[in-house]
Amino acid sequence: NAGVTQTPKFRVLKTGQSMTLLCAQDMNHEYMYWYRQDPGMGLRLIHYSVGEGTTAKGEVPDGYNVSRLKKQNFLLGLESAAPSQTSVYFCASNKVRNTGELFFGEGSRLTVL
């Protein structure tokens, strides 16, 4: 079972470059989330989606955009990468809005030089 799959797993960017992280889930979950994890900061929510075609801002949305054109995919875009966006990014999904287990991908490590 694939669960939640993130691509790419590693990426190095130069300041100002753009890129897209792809998250795919095969569990037919309605809710999907993008987090970033930084030392000493815990997991912080960037954007989330409560269903196909919908997106909303989380705690730290600036500098990121997202799209959910298909239920199984949630894309995170960086239009003009900055060194402050160096982080490990995690995608998660779940079936129930306000309770239940979050299923996480393996993470995508992004370095912006």
Q: Which of 27, 106, 111, 113 binds other proteins (CB under 8 A)?
A: 106
Q: Is 31 in the site for other proteins (CB under 8 A)?
A: yes
Q: Which of 53, 80, 83, 101 binds other proteins (CB under 8 A)?
A: 101
Whether 20 and 77 have beta carbons less than 8 Å apart is answered as yes
Q: Is 42 in the site for other proteins (CB under 8 A)?
A: yes
Whether 78 and 108 have beta carbons less than 8 Å apart is answered as no
Q: How many residues bind other proteins (CB under 8 A)?
A: 26
C-beta closer to other proteins: residue 14 or 39: 39
Q: Which of 34, 90, 110, 112 binds other proteins (CB under 8 A)?
A: 90
Give DSSP secondary structure letters for 19-80.
EEEEEEESS--SEEEEEEEETTTEEEEEEEESSTT--EE-SS-TT-EEE-SSTTEEEEEESS
Q: Is 104 in the site for other proteins (CB under 8 A)?
A: yes
Q: Is 64 in the site for other proteins (CB under 8 A)?
A: no
